[in-house]
Amino acid sequence: MPFYHIVLFRLKPSAPEEVIDEFIKRAKAMETVPGVLKVDVNSPLAATANRANGYGLGIVAVLGSLEDLDVWAAHPAHLKAGELRDQLFEGSMSYDLEFPA
C-alpha cells in the first residue's frame, strides 16, 4: 500500500543558502529511487509558518510500499542528500502515513 514519507528539518541559523539549494536539488533527485513515486521539497507556507515549530524545510515522498523505504534509505541518491545534513540541520522529524491506493 502506498504511503507518504514525511521529513521535517530544523535549519541551522548559519545554514548557507547555496547549500540549502543544493540539498533541495539532491532531495528532488531522489525521485529516481526505485519505488519512489514522487518527491516534493519546500519550506512551510508563509501564511502558516508560525505553526511550523521551527521546522523550516520539509520533504514529502510518496513511496509505493513499505519495502520501498528500505530501498530509499540505502540508495546512493538518498545518501548523497544526507551528506549535507550536518551542515544544514540541527534536528529533524520523520513521519510515515499510509493511504489507500
Taken in order of first residue, the domains within the chain and their CATH numbers are: 3-98 (3.30.70.100)
Query: Global pTM?
Result: 0.91
Measured between alpha carbons, how far is 64 from 81 in angstroms, rounded to an integer? 21
> What pLDDT was estimated at residue 100?
83
> What pLDDT was estimated at residue 91?
96
> What pLDDT was estimated at residue 62?
97
Q: Which three cell numbers stand for residue 23?
A: 540539498
Measured between alpha carbons, how far is 69 from 63 in angstroms, rounded to an integer? 7
Tens digit of pLDDT at every position of the chain (101 positions): 899 999 999 999 999 999 999 999 999 999 999 999 999 999 999 999 999 999 999 999 999 999 999 999 999 999 999 999 999 999 999 999 998 86
